[in-house]
Structure 1
């Protein structure tokens, strides 16, 4: 049993300089060149753990996350019904969007664009074929699980006798608003959404006890901007599909493909790449300075021997 577990761990092991040397990733701010570098290395360490996780564990966690994200549509719908005559009700209604994110992130469930952002850093640190395949495996399993979970949540909202007609109408209204965006606007909104979620992830190591407030503020901003998110949006669009308001093909286009591409580009390639480039330059300069100092000490030692 132990042998099989070890084989599976080795199969999913991330390739990095530290793993080759049998070391842990250094996250001590006093050792690294900057606080930003310490945050980067901490997130990279989390990313390696996610990449090496068992596939079934990832899938079930992602399904749970998809179901949990249904709380965002539920809260927004209930708020819309009860706050439509309240001044500033729009602001409070969009606060409901944050509920699903709070549940998923605080419960450490697998959410595409959140946990999957951290997994990009190990690949950028060492862009090998093996690491790339591990990233695609993680993305595929998490996205599949999230979509299964959001579909289950939407089916539950439609068929379970939980909500009154006014709340169900609010669900339809909220979801139809998402579909008003043409594909190019859906993509652009998703790029900004992906950027904001990636920024939120980057803030977590410094947030401490304020982590829940970071989640609320950053995801509330996504809601206020009517930005597109592949998982939250899936709950809404699946609701329209299962309710018979739109054909299932419209889930794929104009919603899913532009939104998924935008989230990946905004969160993964733009934010993570720029942040990684900054830190790698810091680390390279630090290593260069250490090498020069070592060479200088060696030269001084050799001159001392010659003088003797």
Structure 2
């Protein structure tokens, strides 16, 4: 419904006349945050990301890889101090959100976030150049994230930075990944990628609730024992450097299936659905804009 249509309807019922100009402006601002507007906010962010220099992407991705390690520390610390009860897993999952809050609110480059943000502008205007730009940002950010998580995993494996109690808690939550089959990692990765993409989709509308959105949805990844390739790689590198798993298990059994699942959940499914729900609206806006130009 256009602004003119809303105005005629509201005037007929005496709605808008009861509001001050400032209140009416606030109403319009909230009405404009329909799916098409949310899509456009994320698409423009994606365009900006696709244009960023490689070096900027690298350092931002490295910072994200290092920062996401605090999800493992937060969850491990709660695991170490909570009693062994049926509800411990639900409470300790809140600690898993810490790294995501640092990364998302700090505007660092996280690979699973990019699987939605950078894909939308490519779906809107597909071309050889846009697809190459997407592959460039995916490759740089993924490599930088994994280098950061490898350093963080090595720091945890050294045992120099945290008390023994916390080390034991971190190891306890990390070892569950070693029990996954490639199929487990893949299917859980799909839902994990979907939840991270959902965070990205909700943030433009969240306003003052950004903290709650990140807390609830990312803690759900841990609470449901789903998987996330970047935060999970901290745990994988920790186990690898302690000699509890080998390279074949670390990459072939856990990380690669996780990566595939996250990409499918965040891009092939969520991004396509997000684009699909606004595609017809965008097609209708093109002839309307052309008519106004004439």
TM-score, normalised with respect to structure 1: 0.81
| Mapped contact 1:98–1:220 kept (Cα < 8 A) | yes
Structure 1 residues 151-195: Cα deviation after superposition (integer angstroms, max 9, x where no partner): 111111122522233322222221110221211111110001111
What is the rounded CA distance, in whole Å, between the counterparts of 1:130 and 1:289 in structure 2?
A: 28
Match for residue 148 of structure 1?
147
User: How do residues 92-241 of structure 1 correspond to structure 2 at under 5 angstroms?
Assistant: 92-241=91-240
Question: Greater helix share, 1 or 2?
Answer: 2
- Runs of 5+ unmatched residues, structure 2: 1-27
What is the rounded CA distance, in whole Å, between the counterparts of 1:289 and 1:167 in structure 2?
A: 60
Match for residue 14 of structure 1?
none
Check 1:33–1:290 CA distance in 2 against 1; reply closer, same or farther (3 A cut): farther
What is the rounded CA distance, in whole Å, between the counterparts of 1:208 and 1:289 in structure 2?
A: 30
What is the rounded CA distance, in whole Å, between the counterparts of 1:33 and 1:278 in structure 2?
A: 16
What is the rounded CA distance, in whole Å, between the counterparts of 1:211 and 1:282 in structure 2?
A: 27
Give the Å deviation of 1:94: 0.9
Give the Å deviation of 1:285: 2.7
Give the Å deviation of 1:288: 4.5
- 2:111 aligns to what SS in structure 1? coil
What is the rounded CA distance, in whole Å, between the counterparts of 1:137 and 1:161 in structure 2?
A: 36
- 2:245 aligns to what SS in structure 1? coil
TM-score, normalised with respect to structure 2: 0.85
User: How do residues 2-151 of structure 1 correspond to structure 2 at under 5 angstroms?
Assistant: 35-85=34-84, 88-151=87-150
What is the rounded CA distance, in whole Å, between the counterparts of 1:261 and 1:85 in structure 2?
A: 34
Give the Å deviation of 1:82: 0.4
Give the Å deviation of 1:284: 1.2
- 1:65 aligns to what SS in structure 2? helix
Q: Which moved more, 1:83-92 or 1:166-175?
A: 83-92
| Mapped contact 1:33–1:282 kept (Cα < 8 A) | no
Structure 1 residues 186-212: Cα deviation after superposition (integer angstroms, max 9, x where no partner): 111000111111111000110112111
Give the Å deviation of 1:281: 1.0
Check 1:99–1:34 CA distance in 2 against 1; reply closer, same or farther (3 A cut): closer
| Mapped contact 2:45–2:117 kept (Cα < 8 A) | yes
| Mapped contact 2:90–2:223 kept (Cα < 8 A) | yes
Match for residue 9 of structure 2?
none
Structure 1 residues 13-51: Cα deviation after superposition (integer angstroms, max 9, x where no partner): xxxxxxxxxxxxxxxx88x99711111111110000000
User: Quick check: which has more Rg, 1 or 2?
Assistant: 1
What is the rounded CA distance, in whole Å, between the counterparts of 1:97 and 1:86 in structure 2?
A: 18
What is the rounded CA distance, in whole Å, between the counterparts of 2:260 and 2:206 in structure 1?
A: 29
- Runs of 5+ unmatched residues, structure 1: 1-28, 299-308
| Mapped contact 1:55–1:141 kept (Cα < 8 A) | yes
- 1:228 aligns to what SS in structure 2? coil
Query: Displaced runs of 4+ in structure 1, greater than 6 A?
Result: none
- 1:113 aligns to what SS in structure 2? helix
Give the Å deviation of 1:141: 0.4
**What CA RMSD, in Å, does the superposition of the two structures yield over aligned residues?**
2.1
